[in-house]
Amino acid sequence: MVLAEQADGVMTLTLNRPERMNAWTDEMEQRFFDLVDEADDDPNIRAIIVTGAGRGFCPGMDASVLAQRASNRSGPVVRERPITHLLSCRKLTVAAINGGCAGLGLVIALCCDVRFASTNARLSTAFTRRGLAPEFGAGWLLTRIVGAAHATDLIVSGRVIGAEKAAAMGLVNDAVSHDELMTVALDYARDVAANCSPRAIAYAKADLLADWTRSREDADRDADAIYARPGHVEDFKEGIASFVDKRPPRFEPLGRRAV
């Protein structure tokens, strides 16, 4: 249900249920997050790309699963890891949105650090059109990514927008031709993998996420403590030395996460 391919420091994870447009299932969720965690702990992997097989990225939870849960009138699903688990990944995550992307599938894309969309892609929150208020922190994510006005529009209306519109409002970083999508995503991920410090990326991601809720004063105070972070001085020295010597940097990989 999820394919994994590794090359040049980049792990590409492909949601692989093309006959169902890669609709989400519990089994897919378990496999996907297992692979994300494995990539996070693998020192040879410095970036992760998420895409879909066939014509779709992910339209959300599989309709058969939704129908079953609606008929059972069950409460919230108990998960080992939240749908927003990607936010905890220390490495660069890039969504290559190749087609339809809605509901839970959109949340997965929003949890990636960078999003590129094919001009064939169509995006929607979809929740209100299924009788649901936004789930999985979708409103929280959207408000911080596109601002309150766009977030309210997308959440309340559940309307479908194209890739160019999504790029104009900042929902995706760029809209590119369908044939170029994976080349653009791979080139971006490979450049970061080859030239950026894994530890600096992990620190930067943690800081960016914290900035969504902390004050400027707290951000200033935490930035002043940058030199106390493990590996920072070593990476800074290597970054300057490689720049002066006009050579590729040799940054140390990330170790395994603390348990």
Domain presence at residue 254:
no
Domain presence at residue 240:
yes
- Domain of 95, in residue numbers: 2-192
Is-contact 178 149, C-beta < 8 A? no
Strand-pair partners of 49: 12, 94
134 lies in the same domain as 178? yes
pLDDT at 71: 65
26 lies in the same domain as 133? yes
Closest by Cα among 236, 238, 217 to 228: 236
Domain presence at residue 251:
no
Domain presence at residue 92:
yes
Q: Which 3 state secondary structure label does DSSP give 201?
A: helix
Domain presence at residue 45:
yes
112 lies in the same domain as 223? no
What pTM was estimated for this model as a whole?
0.93
Residues 76-122: pLDDT tens digits?
A: 677 889 999 999 999 999 999 999 999 999 999 999 999 999 999 99
pLDDT at 76: 64
Residues 200-251: pLDDT tens digits?
A: 999 999 999 999 899 989 888 888 887 788 899 999 999 999 999 999 999 9
Residues 172-201: pLDDT tens digits?
A: 999 999 999 999 999 999 999 999 999 999
Q: Which residues contact 10 (CB under 8 A, 6 or more apart)?
A: 45, 46, 47, 48, 49, 186, 189, 190, 193
Strands 122-124 and 161-162: antiparallel
Distances, alpha carbon 230 to alpha carbons 102, 195, 223, 250, 259, in Å: 39, 19, 14, 17, 17
